[in-house]
């Protein structure tokens, strides 16, 4: 259920989400984008940099082509971009629901910013990738 006029995600929660994305160093896939395109997430490229500067992940499509996913918090939005495999950008508004989760209605994703669940963060990243690459 989506809440109307949900409050924006506080900046500290957004920073926490970025830190979790960086620190959990996700490796997953393949993420099915279309019938002909799948993407493998092959780990964080920015483990040694502050998450506030953005989080980068290495991507590889099923044909071996390398790419990159970048995630950056910008005021009230999560700016995400893919390069290499495709060159696409998306700005996603994040709100906060009653349970404190970061909600991105435009991509159908939600995640607890403080989660340490690899599965929960992986699911959110899959939503981001599908939205960017479709």
Q: How far apart are CA 15 and CA 7, in angstroms?
A: 17
Give the start-end residues of each E strand in 1-134: 27-32, 38-44, 55-61, 66-74, 77-83, 88-93, 95-96, 102-104, 109-111
Count of Cβ atoms closer than 10 Å to residue 97 Cβ: 15
| Per-position DSSP letters for 35-51, written without gaps between them | SS-EEEEEEES-TTS-G
Q: What is the pLDDT of residues 58-102, one digit of tens each?
A: 999 999 999 999 999 998 899 999 999 999 999 999 999 999 999
92-130 pLDDT, tens digit per residue, is 999 999 999 999 999 999 999 999 999 999 999 999 999
**Tell me, what's the pLDDT at 4?**
57
Answer left, alpha or beta for residue 128, where phi above 0 means left and psi between -120 and 50 means alpha.
alpha
Question: 5 near 102, Cβ under 8 Å?
Answer: no
Spatial neighbors of 31 by CB under 8 A, at least 6 apart, are 38, 39, 40, 41, 125, 126, 129, 130
């Amino acid at each position: 259920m989506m809440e109307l006029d949900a409050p924006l995600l506080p900046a500290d929660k957004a920073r926490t989400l970025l830190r979790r994305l960086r620190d959990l160093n996700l490796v997953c896939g393949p993420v099915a984008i279309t019938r002909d395109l799948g993407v493998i997430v092959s780990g964080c490229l920015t483990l040694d940099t502050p998450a506030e500067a953005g989080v980068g992940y290495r991507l590889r499509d099923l044909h071996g082509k390398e790419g990159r996913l970048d995630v950056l918090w910008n005021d009230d939005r999560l700016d995400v971009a893919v390069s290499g495999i495709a060159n696409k950008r998306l700005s996603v508004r994040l709100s906060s629901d009653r349970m404190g989760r970061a909600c991105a209605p435009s991509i159908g994703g939600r995640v607890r910013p403080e989660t340490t669940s690899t599965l929960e963060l992986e699911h959110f990243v899959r939503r981001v990738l599908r939205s960017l690459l479709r």
